[in-house]
C-alpha cells in the first residue's frame, strides 16, 4: 500500500480513491442496493470498475465520467438519519445529492447538537476527527447528533 521515497517519506502506492471510498455508515431501514464507482487512476488512465448499465441511459448521463454512489433503502420509520462516509474526493461544496428528499448541489452543514433540523440533506464531520465528512439524509424529525463544522 505504501513505500518510502529516497528521503524516507511515506508515499501511497495506490490511488487514494481506491482506499478512501463512499460507503453507508448507518442506514435508517433496510439496504436494498448499494454501488460505488471510484474512477481511480492507474498512471494517467482512469479506470471504470462499475459502469452504469447501458439499460440506464439517464443514470449514465447524470453521473457522466465522475465518481458516484447509489444507495437504495427501505425506511423502517426510524428518526435517525441515514449516514454515508464521504471520501475526501467528495468535497461538501462539490457534491451533488439527488434523492426523494430533494436535490442539493453543495452540501450544507448540519445544525448544532441538540437541535432538530429541517435540512434533509446535509454533511457533518465524522466523529473522531481526522477531517472526514459524512452525508446525512433525514426527513428532518431526527434530533441532531452532529456538531457544527
Please check whether residue 145 lies inside any domain of the structure.
no
Please check whether residue 144 lies inside any domain of the structure.
no
pLDDT-based confidence at residue 27 (cuts at 50, 70, 90): very high
Residues paired with residue 143 on neighbouring β-strands, in sequence order: 116
Q: Does residue 24 register a pLDDT over 90? A: yes
Q: Does residue 104 register a pLDDT over 50? A: yes
At residue 144, the pLDDT reads 42
Cell numbers for 26, please give them.
448507518
Which of 43, 36, 33 is closest to 66 using CA atoms?
A: 36
Lowest mean pLDDT of 1-15, 78-92, 131-145, name the range: 131-145
Cell numbers for 25, please give them.
455508515
The residue ranking higher by pLDDT, 143 or 87, is 87
CB 86 within 8 A of CB 135: yes
Tally of structural domains, the chain: 1
Q: Does residue 6 register a pLDDT over 90? A: no
Q: What is the dihedral of CA 15, 16, 18, 19, to 10 degrees?
A: 140
Please check whether residue 142 lies inside any domain of the structure.
no
Please check whether residue 148 lies inside any domain of the structure.
no
Please check whether residue 149 lies inside any domain of the structure.
no
Name the residue range of residue 98's domain: 2-137
What is d(CA 95, CA 77) in angstroms, rounded to the nearest whole number? 26
Please check whether residue 146 lies inside any domain of the structure.
no
CB 56 within 8 A of CB 68: no
Please check whether residue 26 lies inside any domain of the structure.
yes
At residue 37, the pLDDT reads 85
Q: What is the pLDDT of residues 31-88, one digit of tens each?
A: 999 988 877 777 787 777 888 889 999 988 988 888 888 999 998 888 888 999 898 8
Amino acid at each position: 500500500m505504501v513505500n518510502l521515497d529516497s528521503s524516507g517519506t511515506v508515499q501511497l502506492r495506490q490511488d487514494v480513491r481506491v482506499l478512501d471510498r463512499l460507503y453507508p455508515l448507518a442506514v435508517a431501514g433496510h439496504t436494498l442496493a448499494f454501488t460505488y464507482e471510484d474512477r481511480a487512476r492507474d498512471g494517467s488512465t482512469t479506470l471504470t470498475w462499475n459502469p452504469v448499465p447501458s439499460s440506464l441511459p439517464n443514470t449514465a448521463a447524470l453521473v457522466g465520467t465522475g465518481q458516484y454512489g447509489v444507495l437504495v433503502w427501505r425506511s423502517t420509520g426510524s428518526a435517525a438519519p441515514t449516514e454515508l462516509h464521504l471520501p475526501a474526493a467528495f468535497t461538501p461544496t462539490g457534491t451533488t445529492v439527488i434523492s426523494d428528499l430533494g436535490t442539493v448541489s453543495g452540501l450544507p452543514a448540519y445544525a448544532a447538537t441538540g437541535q432538530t433540523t429541517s435540512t434533509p440533506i446535509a454533511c457533518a464531520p465524522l466523529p473522531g476527527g481526522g477531517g472526514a465528512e459524512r452525508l446525512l439524509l433525514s426527513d428532518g424529525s431526527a434530533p441532531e447528533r452532529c456538531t457544527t463544522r
